[in-house]
Amino acid sequence: MSIKKSLAYLVYTIFLLGLFIYIGELILDIEAEVSTSAELTPLYYFPLVYFPLGLLLGLPPFIQQFKQSGGWKVNMEKLLFVGIPSLYLCCYPIFYFHAPVLTLPFGKLNLILLSHSFTQIAGIIFGYMLITSFYKVSKYPVIIGR
């Protein structure tokens, strides 16, 4: 067990917990503002607050890719088939109230997609998928068997 690696994980964990606490405080502040003003618009942006948490969760694999040599590539399939749908689900409350043409016409499904838990998870997934979609490809392929 390396002390340097252990210290890096400890700092990462402290930063992750700090971000999580900051997000919690931010949400409490927004809820307090909404309860006094009766303006619901800030509630629609809750899921977007969790996006940085997903980025932070994907940071270790990204750092491993960053340390490798080679050119950067983007896994377009991952972004297109997982990232974009999770971004849509994350932003669903915003679409529902500001661009209803982009929402689904189903009653019960709308309630599920509008729930804070569902959209928060979608925000975390989008952040993770976004940062882990970048990878490096070596300019010199490794030939095995020679």
Q: Are 92 and 48 in contact, with CB atoms under 8 Å apart?
A: no
Rounded (to 5) percent helix, strand, coil in the chain? 75, 5, 20
**What confidence category does residue 24 fall into, taking pLDDT thresholds of 50, 70 and 90?**
confident
- Tell whether the model's pLDDT for residue 137 goes beyond 60: yes
Give the pLDDT confidence score for residue 63 in this predicted structure: 93
Q: Which helix (H) or strand (E) holds 7?
A: helix 3-37
Give the pLDDT confidence score for residue 145 in this predicted structure: 62
Which residue pairs, CB below 8 angstroms and at least 24 apart, start in 14-23?
15/56, 16/53, 16/56, 16/57, 19/52, 19/53, 19/56, 20/53, 23/49, 23/50, 23/52, 23/53
- Tell whether the model's pLDDT for residue 90 goes beyond 80: yes
Other CB atoms within 10 Å distance of the CB of residue 42:
14
Give the pLDDT confidence score for residue 88 in this predicted structure: 94
Q: What is the pTM of this model?
A: 0.82
Sketch the domain layout of the chain as residue ranges: 3-137
Q: Are 5 and 64 in contact, with CB atoms under 8 Å apart?
A: no
Bigger pLDDT: 34 vs 25: 25
Distance set, CA 106 to CA 9, 72, 86, 96, 109 (Å): 44, 41, 19, 12, 6
**pLDDT digits over 65-85, tens only?**
999 988 999 999 999 999 999
- Tell whether the model's pLDDT for residue 7 goes beyond 90: yes
d(CA 4, CA 31): 41
d(CA 84, CA 65): 22
